[in-house]
A and B are shown apart, each in its own frame.
Chain A
Amino acid sequence: MPDVGAELWPFFVVVILTVTILVLAVGASMVLNRRQLLRLQAAYTTRLVQVQDAERRVMAAQVHDEMAQRVSQVRNELIRHGEQADLDPPQATVLHFLEAELGELRTDLRKLAHRLHPTRVDQAGLVVALNGLCDELESGGGFKVHRHFADQLMPVKEPGWAIYRIVQESLLNAQRHGGAREAWVTVRRDGAQVVAEIRDAGTGFDTSARRAPLESGLGLILMRERATLVGGRLSVDSHPGQGTTVRATIPAEAPPGDEGERVLDV
């Protein structure tokens, strides 16, 4: 009778090898697939930011160039009519009221256009645009922005837009989600980079928690994506009850291959 045990030991080795190979394969596959999933997620977020920016540019152009212009035209016609017509005092009062309302509507439309897309960054420079943003947020009352902007920032289009958006989003988050009444904004030049730091004295949040409040969580993701898109980086430091500090470091020049005006390929 053959010694079965002695003859079968290679088969036992084979069984162990089989199990080992299967375990290794499953583990490697899970790691590879997770990486691919993260890559797809990052690509999706990038695309989301690009599509959002493109849509906002179109909407801003329509609001500023069409709607605001038409309101201006109606207001001008109204003023001309008021000057030419012989109106009694009640009629003149109504006319002046309408002129004022249309003037405010035109201003609001322009603010909306600038909020949708920071054309002021291109037209008047980043510092002017940021000051305008801070003034706008303070105009509602109950919110004070302490600001310090370096004189010579001069980032080109997309880095400038990214900084503007990050400051805008950070201040809006501080107001809406953090309940802050004060914020400090510093934007300075550090060699070839622009560093923006936004600090608030709001409620803060636990950055290590699995789920941030949905809107602010998404806003943080988009801010980080905007910084990454222009070759920069973003960090968020926050603790419950201790406010939030957002720091963005953005190259002042656009990344290589970028032609400034992003083209949306549909």
Chain B
Amino acid sequence: MRGIPLIIHLSALSAGLPLLAWLARRLPLRGHEWVLLASALSLSLDALGLYLATQGRNNHWLAYLLGPLLFAAMLMALAERQRTPTARSTFRIVVVLDLLACLILSLWAEDLRNYSQFAMPLGALLVLGASTWTLVQGGFGPGGRAGAEPDWHWVPLGFALYSAVTAAYFPFVAVFMRSEPALVGRVMELKAVLVMLAFALVAWGVWCRTSGPNSGRSSSSSS
């Protein structure tokens, strides 16, 4: 599996942008821990996947191992940005149910040597729903933007884009992998570009946040 396009490598590395943003700004860990964990997991998943691919070895099992954890970290990051205790606890319960569902699906319904048909799309759809809810609540809900941190929309937006791309990618591959492999290759490159954009948005959200979530303090940094 040599000759992997450069864009795929860049996409894998883009997962480290939020980590770089945090290091560069020397921000406190509190308020960023789940975003940074998601970033680290995605970086690990893609980097290890690329390495195994260059060695000609199957790398699909990585998605079943690290994918649910990645989506769990994203959901926890979104939970920290909710304004009500009910919403926060809902997100945390979703994490538990998602991990349980992914485990069951991986053991009984998935082919671990092939693209995921259940577990990864499930995690992606849940993160997409959670991100969309966070954006709608932040933008239009009661007390939406007032008193919000400047990054209230960047991180959820980045997660929404990432999860939307992921949720669409797996079914597409399932349908066209055998009949249109060249098309699937192009779609992979498009996915890579969108994932880079997604992590750039998340990194910007980390960069412009100056205090912990739900701290109530306004930020002087520009968004």
Contact = CB atoms under 8 A, between A and B. Distances in A.
Q: Do the two chains belong together in a single complex?
A: yes
Interface of A: 1-2, 4, 7-8, 10-11, 13-15, 17-18, 21-22, 24-26, 28-30, 32-33, 36
B125 A14 contact: yes
Instruction: State the main secondary structure of chain B at its contact with A.
Output: helix
B121 interface: yes
Contacts of A36: 85
B179 A4 contact: no
B86 A18 contact: no
B118 interface: yes
Nearest to A26: B90
Contact of B175 (A2, A14, A25): A2
Interface stretch (B22-30, B92-100, B146-154): B92-100
B93 A28 contact: yes
Contacts of B85: 33, 36
Nearest to A10: B117
Contacts of B125: 14-15, 18
Interface string B11-51: 00000000000000000000000000000000000000000
Nearest to B94: A25
Given A7-B175, A22-B126, 15 more contacts: A8-B174, A14-B121, A14-B125, A17-B101, A18-B125, A18-B129, A21-B94, A21-B101, A21-B122, A24-B93, A25-B90, A25-B93, A25-B94, A26-B90, A29-B90
A8 B171 contact: yes
10 contacts: A7-B171, A7-B174, A8-B175, A17-B122, A18-B122, A18-B126, A22-B129, A29-B90, A33-B89, A36-B85
Contacts of A14: 117-118, 121-122, 125
Contacts of B97: 21, 24-25
A31 B93 CA distance: 12
Nearest to B109: A10
A13 B105 CA distance: 11
A61 to B, nearest CB: 42
Nearest to A30: B86
Given A7-B174, A18-B125, A25-B97, A2 B179 contact: yes
Nearest to A32: B89
Nearest to B175: A7
Contacts of B175: 2, 4, 7-8
A33 B82 CA distance: 15
Contacts of A17: 101, 118, 122
Contact of B171 (A11, A18, A22): A11
B101 A33 contact: no
Contact of A11 (B90, B121, B179): B121
Contact of B118 (A13, A26, A29, A32): A13
Contacts of B118: 10, 13-14, 17
Nearest to B88: A29
Interface string B79-116: 00000011101110110011001000000000000000
Nearest to B168: A11
A110 B7 CA distance: 89
A18 B86 CA distance: 19
A1 B178 CA distance: 10
B118 to A, nearest CB: 6
A1 B87 CA distance: 44
Contacts of A33: 85-86, 89
A4 B90 CA distance: 34
A46 B121 CA distance: 49
A243 B96 CA distance: 52
Contacts of B176: 2
A8 B170 CA distance: 10
A29 B91 CA distance: 9
Contact of B93 (A1, A7, A15, A29): A29
A148 to B, nearest CB: 50
Contacts of B126: 18, 21-22
Contacts of B94: 21-22, 25
User: Which 5 pairs, one residue from A and one from B, show the smallest C-beta to C-beta distance?
Assistant: A29-B90, A10-B117, A25-B93, A11-B171, A7-B175
Interface string B158-193: 000000000000110011101100000000000000
